[in-house]
Chain A
Amino acid sequence: MTSVRNPAPLLVVLLLAVAFPANAAELQKPSPLKSGVEFTGESARALEKDEFANPGMLWVERGSKLWGEAPRGNGKSCASCHGDAAKSMKGVATRYPRVDPGAERLVDLEGRINLCREKNQLAHPLARESDELLALTAYVARQSRGMPLAVAIDEKSRAAFERGRVQYNTRVGQMNLACTHCHDRNWGKQLAAETVSQGHGNAFPAYRLEWQSLGSLERRIRACYYGVRAEMPPYGAEILLDLELYLGWRASGLPVETPGVRR
């Protein structure tokens, strides 16, 4: 065996190679990129396309009313500052989650709405998954319908993106599966009676037939944790937002479909 004068640098390199294996597959996006609507089935697709029958529109309708109402606070409604949402909110949903000026951490659209309520309307934040928050989020997101997702991965959000990417590739739960196992390696194949999608969030908040209600992307991701029998992170948990950012990057270019109809 050849003797090595100073083994330390060699050992460090070997240690790094073991701890952080270069895995090109981890930064891959599915190709071709397909929205979840392509995996839902005929009747769900038809329901989503129908402007009127789409059950999610009931929340959008409520959101349009809440937009003009002032909650108990300083008397301002969303409309007081933002005017016509069709103009002022156009494109907004394509950028979330992001680190907003005035927020130290990543916020999704729901979080941004609550920030506005607290800081600009001096009102209580709305509870996660509450009817009102879902309605406002769906209404705001709908103003970006058809526009491509474009979250920013920059110096402010890079750490969160990395955490999301690592989590996406980490096995969890009793079933010991990572997101990538279903949504990168097995999309398009059958899982029980359903076709596995690519796991994009471009249609959220979405009306999920299983829920018989509109629900947020956080709720859907929590359901995935439940699906592999893992402990569900609580609403608002950092890891859920990190994952949403990673998913947003992964779905870049897909059009906003809110409110989507899913199984």
Chain B
Amino acid sequence: MVARVQLPQQARRGEVIEVRIAIQHPMETGFRYDPMGKPVPKNVINSLKVRYNDSEIFSAELGSGIAANPYLQFCTVAEASGELVFEWVDDNGSRGSERATLTVA
């Protein structure tokens, strides 16, 4: 899955930073029908978790109310230099992940 992650490359210790992620995914609601009248099966990203130096800082349960190509944004406090790991899974079991490094002065 194509995903883009954005956060500042550097931050001061204790600074609040904004983290953004956009994932390419159809987020098929399960309420649509194809041109032949068959229901299109539901398939949405149902879980997104973000870890910062191995402690979970953000977690979301998503459903069919979230539009396609979901965009999420949250804040966290920069504490120590390290890695943010984003992981998500959809109803079909497809997993995606992204990593980003943060340097904290």
Chain A residues in the interface with B (C-beta under 8 A): 52-53, 55, 57-59, 61-62, 212-213
> With an 8 A cutoff between CB atoms, is B26 at the interface?
yes
Residue in A52, A53, A62 whose CB lies within 8 Å of B24: A62
| Contacts A52-B20, A212-B26 supplied; 4 other A-B pairs, CB < 8 Å | A53-B20, A53-B71, A212-B27, A213-B68
Residues of A contacting B24 in the complex (Cβ-Cβ under 8 angstroms): 58-59, 62
Given contact pairs A61-B2, A212-B26, A55 touches B20 in the complex (Cβ within 8 A): no
Interface size class of B (residues with CB under 8 A): 10 to 19
Inter-chain contact A58/B4, CB cutoff 8 Å: yes
Determine how close the nearest CB of chain B comes to the CB of A263; give it in whole angstroms.
14
Q: Which of B22, B26, B27 contacts A57 (CB 8 A)?
A: B22
Instruction: Tell me the complex Cα distance, A57–B3, Å.
Output: 10
B contact residues around A213 at 8 Å (CB): 26, 68-69
- C-alpha gap A212/B44 in the complex (Å): 14
**Which residues of B64-81 have CB atoms within 8 Å of chain A's CB atoms?**
67-69, 71
B4 lies within 8 A of A212 (CB): no
Q: Is the CB of A58 within 8 A of B69?
A: yes
Cβ contact within 8 Å between A57 and B4? yes
The reply on B6 being an interface residue by CB < 8 A is yes
Per a CB cutoff under 8 Å, which of B22, B67, B68 touches A52?
B22
Using a CB–CB cutoff of 8 Å, the interface residues on chain B facing chain A are 2-4, 6, 20, 22-24, 26-27, 67-69, 71
B71 and A55 form a contact (CB under 8 A): yes
User: In the complex, A212 Cα to B20 Cα: how many Å?
Assistant: 20
In angstroms, Cα B25 to Cα A62, docked, is 13
What residues of B have a CB within 8 angstroms of the CB of A58 in the complex? 2-4, 22-24, 69
Least Cβ–Cβ distance between B34 and chain A, in angstroms:
15
Closest A-chain residue to B6, C-beta based? A52
5 closest A-B pairs (Cβ-Cβ)? A212-B68, A58-B24, A55-B69, A62-B2, A52-B6
Q: Which of B3, B22, B23, B68 contacts A53 (CB 8 A)?
A: B22
- Closest residue of chain A to B28 (Cβ to Cβ) is A212
Q: Which one of A52, A57, A62, A213 has the greatest number of beta carbons of chain B within 10 Å?
A: A52
Closest A residue, CB atoms, query B69: A55
30 pairs from A and B in contact (CB 8 Å cutoff): A52-B4, A52-B6, A52-B20, A52-B22, A53-B20, A53-B22, A53-B71, A55-B22, A55-B69, A57-B4, A57-B22, A58-B2, A58-B3, A58-B4, A58-B22, A58-B24, A58-B69, A59-B2, A59-B24, A61-B2, A61-B4, A62-B2, A62-B24, A212-B26, A212-B67, A212-B68, A212-B69, A213-B26, A213-B68, A213-B69
Chain B nearest CB, measured from A31 CB (Å): 36
Chain B residues, Cβ within 8 Å of A52: 4, 6, 20, 22
Q: Which residues of A contact B67 (CB under 8 A)?
A: 212
- Nearest B residue (CB) for A213: B68
Collect the chain A residues with CB atoms within 8 Å of residue B68's CB.
212-213
Complex: chain A residue closest to B26, CB-CB: A212
Q: Min CB distance, B28 to chain A, in Å?
A: 10
**In the complex, which residues of chain A have a beta carbon less than 8 angstroms from the beta carbon of B26?**
212-213
The interface residues of chain A lying within 8 Å CB-to-CB of B4 are: 52, 57-58, 61
